[in-house]
Chains A and B, each alone.
Chain A
């Protein structure tokens, strides 16, 4: 029997390839992402291995604030500690290290590196040192307040040569320097695509952070003791009250690698979610192909049964085939995945993210995983069809082939309906006050129910969707419509992958549209000025606070105010405060103060949101204790409550509160109001000039700013669409395979039609429209489900302030148009095959 199965497979190589296609694509993404993340992981590990290769010790403060969204700020340490460390026996050399936000402005006035999404932009120190990270490849080390060195990639991208004047922007503002040296970092032009402006220590401290302070001290030992002994010795000289720690080179390497690993693992999880979706969608296709194949081989299987094969043997023969397909497909998929990883790396290089050499990391483990997952998914998807194949009565061998035209069972319809209804009731219960966590259960029930119900509704829905085709295309359209409806099970299985992909896209875009709408409502209400400068920086750096001050001085500007953030500890937890300038914010930005004025906010005061006040049981006059990043404490008195916490967060303080403290604070936006009667064109031009001078941020009118803020969600949307694109490809492949098998099955019918006068182009039309109807079937059901899912998600976020659900009209139309195109594209090859049917052969073979 095993040999029969193998013969069967080899006798149908074309089918083997077709069936494997779904497995190949599904596993290729899995393999590609795992190889790619492993490669990134090792690349960064190697990078930091190199960075700290010559460092034996790392001295830093133990005090760190970890805020939301992975934000982190470590306290700085006094620069004079460097001399103390240098004096410790066993220390050969110790130098301070500073790393902070800085942007290099190009000769065209535009900052180097992409603002926002790209790799970070740093300012740092470059000093001659035994464990130096940087080596000067051209010119010399920067010395003094007016000299800078640039990393090689930045110098090249900005067309800078030694002797040029370079403008750099940092927290304290923008400043011009003379380029004296070009530095390289290990064996790369710049690490990970980041840009670096390098200064001597006093300049870096003063320009990037706070004079007299550094971030850490790098130590090289003289080899007289181990790194661990050296670290202990250094620690010993510091008063524990100073809260200083010394890490060995290995420890700091490990810590950095772990941090990066954590960030990458998030990326890896994201990718694996989408490869799971792709594989799930692929399993539908595999299931479908095996079902059709079982149906088409019904007579053959019946014959085997008639001459004495047991049910089990027939089933096992088919499972054997699925094992071969699974292994073959997964191996091909793994190879394809390596190609995918190469492509992704190429993409990074094209984006100028220069990774150190090292090649792809292809581990036997990844290969084993891919093949096992592919194999299990394939065999599991083939199990039901294989069992059904075994159940074929031997008598079927004598009958004319009755291909799976049987309608869906009643039990199936009831089960599906029950599942959908139960899901709807669950969701209904949540809207009436049941716990949110039931929403997921409800959604799952509705989805499962729809898939189960698929075969029962496929026929009527396909007939409705096919009506325009029948109207438009006459008898070819009629046949396409009937063909789409004739095997409801097959049609619904083919449409299911489309349904899943479309539902996810529709849900995500409905969510995005709702958030979008909400954001523009919020900004329209709260931003009351005329212009805004927005920062594209995310999480790291931002607009220099002095920019707002400069803009306020421009003629025709009534006031300009910056709003920023500050990381502090409250009750020992990292928290973000919103920083405003009470003197200038009036008329520019409204946070909805209740019975209070902006001027009530002094340097010892804090405004808190109504929500926060309720939650923490605070009121006007209460005290909130905050600890700044430099470990100094402030006892702040609540001066007022406000309503709008969507953007301002729950805590607002004045810029004066931390004036002079050793902390980082950037503005994320600057809001500007014109003087009455000022010429808006002139004012805009002067504002633009000032912003250009800083080389950061983007000047926008009120409406432009609102659109931009609301549009930020679209970037994320693009990523998600890109990842879902793969599921769409698999869905297309599913349609192609099904159509090919259907065409194969309907050879006689096609032969007959050709004989009585159907032209080749009419044959193509019929196949094409059947494909379009199938694709639209999945799209329509998917949109309905997806929008419902989107609504559920929006509803579940109502406590997070998302109050209005919006239907993404544009996306919905785009999905319909695209699924139409998908249908047309998927039909190209099967339709061509259909025209190649030999009329005579089709008519004469029985």
Chain B
């Protein structure tokens, strides 16, 4: 399998010497192309930090993070920004959209920022997949929470990124809407061949993934393939949640 993103001995330390706190401690992990991976762990386990560091939003204290074999620590702010724009898609828990832009503009935002046209056929397919055709001219304030999150999914997909990072994408939604979003993400992997890495603490959400990477105390605490909510819940309990 092709590795889309990876870390080697990723370490993130806050503070110094005695008061040093390890958010990540020697984490080495690969994320495979065409797979839907979930990162799970109790709060404070470092799962968000891991995602931020691989996505080029945060810097590691030592070790390396790579997207497509590009070592992120070698990039300056501008190159890093461009890499995020071109190779990474983001779905955040909330406040995903720019309030002054329409749904359509929000979807195309990474392309517009890069002054690129993008693949129009692909974009239309994405918009169809998330059922947003009749909402394109609306602004975020005129959309429901679920619709807003669908726009965010569409934006993450629009530029055909190498990898999509989702940070608790259903955390702010009711379970029906959340399920809908997870289905779209699943569809994006199955039908559109995308790569998704999702941070979550919800076993149900994690069960949509192909593979789960567990984190505890800043270290890898195991993996699970073909998860179900029950199996995930059991494992989480054993992690001392």
The answer, among B52, B84, B99, B112, for a CB contact under 8 Å with A474, is B112
Assuming the A-B contacts A752-B92, A752-B98, are A478 and B105 also in contact, with contact meaning beta carbons closer than 8 angstroms in the complex?
A: yes
Residues of A within 8 A of B109 (CB): 475, 753, 756-757
- Asked if B113 is at the interface of the complex by the 8 Å CB criterion, the answer is yes
Nearest B residue to A760, CB-CB: B77
A716 close to chain B: CB less than 8 A: no
CB neighbours of B105 from chain A (8 A): 475, 478
Number of interface residues of A (CB under 8 A): 25
Are A756 and B95 in touch, CB under 8 angstroms? no
Binding stretch for chain B, among A232-240, A479-487, A547-555, A603-611: A479-487
A residues within 8 A CB of B61? none
Q: Give residues of chain B (171-185) contacting chain A, Cβ–Cβ below 8 Å.
A: none
Question: Scoring A residues 833 to 846 as 1 if CB is less than 8 Å from chain B, else 0, what string do you get?
Answer: 00000011001101
Contact A479 to B100, CB < 8 A, known contacts A756-B90, A757-B110: yes
Q: Using known A-B contacts A755-B57, A756-B84, determine if residue A762 contacts B113 with beta carbons closer than 8 Å.
A: yes
B114 on the A face (CB < 8 A): yes
Interface string of B62-99 (1 = CB under 8 A from A): 00000000000000011001101110001010111111
Does A521 lie at the interface of the complex (its beta carbon under 8 Å from any beta carbon of B)? Answer: no
Given A475-B109, A482-B101, A839-B57, also A757-B114 (CB < 8 A): yes
Contact B92 A475 (CB under 8 A): no
Which B residues touch A475, using CB under 8 A? Answer: 101, 105, 109, 112-113
Q: How far is the CA of A475 from the CA of B112 in the complex (A)?
A: 6
Distance to closest chain B CB from A147 (angstroms): 80
Tell which of A748, A756, A760, A839 touches B110, judged by Cβ atoms closer than 8 Å.
Answer: A756
**Please, what's the 1-or-0 string for A745-757, where 1 marks a CB less than 8 Å from any CB in chain B?**
0001100111111
Residue B58, interface by CB 8 Å: yes
**Inter-chain contact B100/A759, CB cutoff 8 Å:** no
Q: Give the docked Cα–Cα distance between A457 and B110 (Å).
A: 32
CA of A755 to CA of B57, assembled, Å:
7
Q: How far is the CB of A757 from chain B (nearest CB, A)?
A: 2
Q: Kindly report which residue of chain A lies nearest to residue B58, judged by CB atoms.
A: A840
Which residue of B is nearest A762, CB measured? Answer: B113
CB–CB B57/A757 < 8 A:
no
Judged by a CB distance under 8 angstroms, whether A758 is at the interface is: yes
Residues of A contacting B97 with CB < 8 Å?
A: 752
B230 to chain A, nearest CB (A): 31
- Give the shortest distance, in Å, between A835 (CB) and chain B (any CB): 9
Q: Bound complex: CA of A840 vs CA of B98, how far in Å? A: 17
Per the bound structure, the CA–CA distance linking A762 and B58 in Å amounts to 20
- On whether the beta carbons of B100 and A482 are closer than 8 Å, the reply is yes
Do residues A756 and B57 form an inter-chain contact, with CB atoms below 8 A? Answer: no
Inside 8 A of A839's CB, which chain B residues have their CB? 57
Q: What is the bound-complex CA distance between A759 and B98, given in angstroms?
A: 16
Q: Complex Cα distance A475/B85, Å?
A: 14
Residues of the A chain whose Cβ atoms lie less than 8 Å from the Cβ of B84: 755-757
Cα distance A844–B84 in the bound complex, in angstroms? 18
Asked whether B150 is an interface residue with its Cβ less than 8 Å from the other chain, the reply is no
Question: Is the Cβ of B96 less than 8 Å from the Cβ of A752?
Answer: yes
A478 CA to B101 CA in the complex, in Å?
8
Please state if B57 and A840 are interface contacts (CB–CB under 8 Å). Answer: yes
If A479-B101, A482-B101, A749-B98 touch, whether A757 touches B115 (CB-CB below 8 Å) is: no
Tell me which residues across on chain B come within 8 A of A758, comparing CB atoms. 81, 85, 113
Closest A-chain residue to B115, C-beta based?
A: A474
Q: In residues 732-771 of chain A, which contact B (Cβ within 8 Å)?
A: 748-749, 752-760, 762
Whether B47 sits at the interface, judged by CB under 8 Å, is no
Residues of chain A with a CB closer than 8 A to B211's CB: none
Task: Provide the residues of chain B in CB contact with A482, threshold 8 Å.
Answer: 100-101
- Smallest beta-carbon distance B169→chain A, Å: 13
B155 contacts A by Cβ under 8 Å: yes
What is the bound-complex CA distance between A762 and B90, given in angstroms? 19
Instruction: Report B103 CB to chain A, min CB distance, Å.
Output: 14
Q: A113 CB to closest chain B CB, in angstroms?
A: 60
* A456-496 interface with B by 8 A CB criterion: 474-476, 478-479, 482-483, 486
**B residues less than 8 Å from A754 (CB atoms):** 81
Tell me the chain B residues, 124-176 only, with Cβ under 8 Å from chain A.
155
**Chain B 32-67 interface mask (CB, 8 Å, partner A; 1/0):** 000000000000000010001001011000000000
Checking A479, A483, A752 against B95 with a beta-carbon cut-off of 8 angstroms, the contacting residue is A752
Chain A residue at smallest Cβ distance from B92: A843
Residues of A within 8 A of B113 (CB): 475-476, 753, 756-759, 762
Q: Is the CB of B57 within 8 A of A479?
A: no
Docked complex Cα distance between A822 and B99 (Å): 27
A757 touches B82 (CB 8 A): yes
Q: Is the CB of A486 within 8 A of B100?
A: yes
Nearest chain-B residue to A755 (Cβ)?
B90
A748 to B90, CA, bound (A): 14
Residues of B within 8 A of A752 (CB): 92, 95-98
> Across the two chains, which residue of chain B brings its CB closest to A761?
B78
For A474, the chain B residues whose CB sits under 8 A away are 112, 115
User: Does the CB pair A756–B115 fall under 8 Å?
Assistant: no
Q: Are B85 and A760 in contact (CB under 8 A)?
A: no
- Chain B min CB distance to A747 (Å): 11
Q: What's the Cα separation between A532 and B58 when bound, in Å?
A: 77
A843-B86 Cα distance, complex, nearest whole Å: 20
Selected from B78, B94, B100, B155, the residue in CB contact (under 8 A) with A756 is B155
Closest CB of chain A to B44's CB: distance in Å?
A: 13
Closest to B106 in A: A756
- Taking CB atoms, residues of chain A closer than 8 Å to B78 are 759-760
CB distance from B236 to the nearest CB of A (A): 22
Least Cβ–Cβ distance between B157 and chain A, in angstroms: 12
Interchain CB contact (< 8 A) of B52 among A476, A756, A840: A840
Complex interface residues of chain A between 77 and 132 (CB less than 8 A to chain B): none
Query: How many angstroms between the C-alpha atoms of A409 and B113 in the bound complex?
Result: 36
A190 to chain B, nearest CB (A): 63
CB nearest to A759 among chain B residues: B81
Q: Which residues of A contact B90 (CB under 8 A)?
A: 755-756
The answer for the CA separation of A762 and B92 in the assembled complex, in Å, is 22
Q: A482–B139 Cα gap in the complex (Å)?
A: 11
- Tell me, in angstroms, the Cα distance from A474 to B100 when the chains sit together: 14
The reply to whether B82 and A759 contact each other, CB–CB distance below 8 Å, is yes
Which residues of chain A have C-beta atoms less than 8 A from B77's C-beta? 759-760
A755 to B96, CA, bound (A): 10
Q: In whole angstroms, what is the CA distance A482 to B101 when docked?
A: 8
Point out the residues of chain A lying under 8 angstroms from B155, CB to CB: 756
> In the complex the two chains form, what is the Cα distance from A476 to B113 in whole Å?
7
Write the chain B residue with the least CB distance to A750. B98
Looking at B48, B57, B82, which has the most chain A CB atoms within 10 Å of its CB? Answer: B57
* Chain A residues with CB below 8 A from B96, complex form: 752
For A339-374 the 0/1 string (1 means CB < 8 A from B) is 000000000000000000000000000000000000
**B interface footprint on A513-549 (CB within 8 Å = 1, 0 otherwise):** 0000000000000000000000000000000000000
Q: Chain B residues near A755 (CB, 8 Å)?
A: 55, 57, 84, 90, 92
With a CB–CB cut-off of 8 A, which chain A residues contact B98?
479, 749, 752-753
- Chain B residues within CB distance 8 Å of chain A: 48, 52, 55, 57-58, 77-78, 81-82, 84-86, 90, 92, 94-101, 105, 109-110, 112-115, 155
* The 9 residue pairs across chains A and B that have the minimum distance between CB atoms: A757-B85, A482-B100, A475-B112, A759-B81, A757-B110, A757-B84, A757-B113, A758-B113, A756-B110
A-B contact pairs, 27 of them (CB 8 A): A474-B112, A475-B112, A476-B113, A479-B101, A482-B100, A482-B101, A483-B100, A748-B95, A749-B95, A749-B98, A752-B92, A752-B96, A752-B98, A754-B81, A755-B92, A756-B84, A756-B85, A756-B90, A756-B109, A756-B113, A758-B113, A759-B81, A760-B77, A762-B113, A843-B57, A843-B92, A843-B95
Interface residues of A (CB under 8 A from B): 474-476, 478-479, 482-483, 486, 748-749, 752-760, 762, 839-840, 843-844, 846
5 new A-B contacts at CB < 8 Å, known A760-B81, A843-B57, A844-B48 = A474-B115, A753-B98, A756-B109, A756-B155, A760-B77
